[in-house]
């Protein structure tokens, strides 16, 4: 893992995270559910084959996933700090905009091939999701 890239990511994200911290006191859960429903509809419309494969997997894979640990939290600390509804929305929102976040690490993985513009795109998508939630 390239620590420079992580530092660049943190540097780019800092203003947005500070803004989010200042703006957000509570999350309107009904609004979050509505936003998630919209994102899910968008994803399913754009990825019908993925949805069909997911349905098929429900009957043949333990828990409907390749490895059953995928249905569980990574650890106690992660579970205690997690917000399932919020994380589910953020992951789907980012995915619909071309950014895949790891589903259980509470972090974005960065490779040596990741560019500053990739990190900027991720940061803008995160800021956009935050704006939708807090609007």
In the chain, domain spans:
3-134
Identify the pLDDT of residue 47: 85
pLDDT, mean over the chain: 74
Residue 16 pLDDT level (bands cut at 50, 70, 90):
low
* pLDDT-above-90 percentage for the chain: 10
Residue 70 half-sphere exposure toward CB, CA atoms < 13 A: 10
Q: How far apart are CA 61 and CA 54, in angstroms?
A: 10
Residue 34 pLDDT level (bands cut at 50, 70, 90):
very high
Residue 96 pLDDT level (bands cut at 50, 70, 90):
very high
């Amino acid at each position: 893992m390239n620590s420079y890239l992580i530092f660049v990511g943190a540097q780019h994200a800092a203003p947005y995270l500070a803004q989010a911290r200042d703006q957000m006191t509570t999350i309107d859960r009904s609004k979050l559910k509505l936003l998630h429903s919209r994102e899910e509809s968008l994803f399913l419309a754009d990825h019908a084959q993925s949805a069909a494969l997911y349905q098929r997997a429900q009957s043949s894979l333990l828990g409907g996933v390749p490895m059953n640990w995928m249905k569980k939290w990574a650890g106690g600390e992660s579970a205690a700090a997690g917000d399932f509804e919020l994380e589910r929305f953020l992951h789907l929102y980012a995915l619909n905009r071309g950014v895949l976040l790891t589903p259980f690490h509470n972090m974005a993985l960065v490779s040596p091939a990741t560019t500053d513009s990739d990190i900027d795109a991720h940061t803008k998508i995160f800021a956009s999701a935050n704006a939708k939630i807090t609007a």
